[in-house]
């Protein structure tokens, strides 16, 4: 399986290169950056490994042509363009980009009519188990249990709440058979009044070098259930993304999630 990496010189991009090189059945097809000092460097040397005789390029179309699947942990605008490129060239696209809006979701859905798209707010196996548990618990418990989602990430993260936190909110809302946008509370400040029944709240923390902590709280009178996932290395995201790329081989066009990849769907 020939796998290409867009945004290959970033923190996640380098981790993805290392994971592809270390995974049986995966072959590094190449990597691209729009510009910067990494362009022209050997991809192996870039991650502190042996040279692989493939250099960082700038031509995304050429990378897609050389790949069976492309992994994208970039920014929403770039992901939208990559979805259109994947659809036009019939290449699988694995999307771990966070902070995507409705326009990008629409582009991914459109591309999925022509090719395989795997998109998840978090590629970690453990987080996707957490998503499945959140949906199940929310479906089991009634509105007597208040749902709060707490997340913490490093000081450099630009989107808030995290894509994973929003994914957990979607899972909880799905379990309760409601629309998240109708019940979400992203901020509280000042005299906000009593908490409405059925609300799904979010709390965002930023600081240090935290890779990613997520806690889903189900709180009722007399008891509280908390389920937690803490990431200590970005390797778990890279491992899940490469697993998704290998899984995509031979699949029919469609919009899939990591829960499909893991058999949790």
Catalytic residue positions? 153, 157
The Cα-based distances of 209 to 3, 53, 92, 155 in angstroms read 29, 33, 32, 7
Strand order in the sheet with 223-231: 184-185, 200-206, 146-153, 212-220, 223-231
Q: Where are the alpha helices (DSSP H) in the chain?
A: 11-22, 43-46, 60-66, 76-89, 102-111, 125-140, 163-176, 180-183, 235-247, 258-261
Pairwise CA distance, residues 86 & 2, whole Å: 14
Kind of pairing, strands 200-206 and 212-220? unpaired
Q: Would you say 55 and 43 are in contact if contact means Cβ atoms under 8 Å apart?
A: yes
């Amino acid at each position: 399986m020939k796998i290409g990496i867009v945004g290959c010189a970033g923190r996640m991009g380098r981790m993805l290169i290392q994971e592809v090189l270390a995974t049986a059945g995966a072959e590094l097809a190449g990597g691209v950056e729009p510009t910067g000092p990494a362009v022209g460097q050997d991809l192996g040397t870039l991650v502190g490994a042996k040279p692989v005789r493939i250099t960082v390029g700038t031509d995304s179309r050429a990378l897609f042509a050389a790949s069976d699947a492309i992994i994208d942990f970039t920014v929403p605008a770039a992901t939208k363009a990559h979805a259109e490129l994947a659809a036009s060239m019939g290449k699988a696209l694995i999307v771990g980009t966070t902070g995507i809006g409705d326009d990008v979701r629409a582009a991914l859905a459109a591309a999925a009519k022509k090719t395989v798209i795997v998109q998840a707010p978090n590629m970690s196996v453990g987080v996707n188990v957490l998503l499945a548990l959140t949906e199940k618990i929310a479906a089991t418990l009634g509105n007597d249990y208040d749902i709060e989602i707490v997340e913490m990430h490093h000081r450099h993260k630009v989107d808030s709440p995290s894509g994973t936190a929003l994914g957990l909110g979607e899972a909880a809302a799905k379990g309760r058979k409601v629309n998240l946008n109708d019940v979400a509370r992203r901020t509280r400040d000042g005299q906000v009044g009593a908490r409405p029944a059925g609300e799904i709240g979010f709390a965002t923390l930023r600081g240090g070098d935290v890779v990613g902590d997520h806690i889903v709280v189900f709180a009722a009178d007399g008891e509280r259930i908390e389920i937690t996932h803490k990431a200590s290395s970005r390797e778990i995201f890279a491992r899940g993304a490469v697993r998704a790329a290998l899984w995509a081989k031979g699949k029919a066009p469609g919009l899939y999630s990591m829960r499909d990849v893991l058999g949790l769907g």
